[in-house]
């Protein structure tokens, strides 16, 4: 965190103040990545929402369900990252293991894709 001494020394960047976080932590960075990934997935179907707003054309229920699933999974992933006790726990969330059926999964899971 930025301190009074940092302020006195002129080290605090514009827009920041005493008590603000000086550098982002790993959890903040990982959560931002998950949110960006979710936004990228949702972007593929945003045009349905725009079309609904512009022309009143209904959004297909499969699209609405998919978009809700992406948001739900994103929130679950954010919670898992936030609740990780330490770096080792974070690492475990991202570690893929082979399942009996030959597939690979990780405890954090994956964001749903429309084609899956």
Eight-state DSSP code of residue 13: P
Higher-pLDDT residue of 10, 91? 91
**pLDDT at 38 > cutoff 90:** yes
Higher-pLDDT residue of 49, 9? 49
Q: What's the start-to-end Cα distance of the chain, in Å?
A: 43
Provide DSSP, 27-92. HHHHHHHHHHHHHHHHHTTHHHHHHHHHH-PPPPHHHHHHHHHHHHHHHHHHHHHHH--SHHHHHH
Q: Note the pLDDT tens digit of each residue in 58-114.
A: 999 999 999 999 999 999 999 999 999 999 999 999 999 999 999 999 999 999 998
Q: Show the tokens assigned to 48.
A: 């349905």
**pLDDT at 23 > cutoff 80:** no
Classify each residue of 82-98 as buried b or exposed e, where b means 16 or more C-beta atoms within 10 Å of its C-beta. Answer: eebeeeeebeebeeeee
Predicted TM-score (pTM) of this structure? 0.79
Q: In Å, how far are 32, 38, 48, 69, 98 from 88, measured between CA atoms?
A: 19, 24, 41, 28, 20
Strand partners, 104: 98
């Amino acid at each position: 965190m930025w301190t009074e001494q940092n302020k006195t020394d002129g080290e605090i960047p514009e827009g920041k103040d005493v008590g603000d976080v000086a550098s982002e932590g790993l959890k903040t960075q990982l959560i931002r990545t998950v949110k960006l990934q979710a936004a990228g997935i949702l972007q593929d179907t945003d045009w349905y929402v725009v079309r609904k707003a512009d022309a009143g054309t209904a959004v297909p229920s499969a699209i609405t369900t998919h978009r809700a699933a992406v948001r739900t999974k994103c929130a679950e992933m954010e919670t898992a990252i936030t609740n990780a006790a330490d770096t080792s726990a974070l690492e475990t969330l991202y570690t893929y293991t082979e399942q009996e059926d030959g597939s690979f999964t990780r405890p954090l899971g994956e964001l749903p894709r429309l084609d899956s």
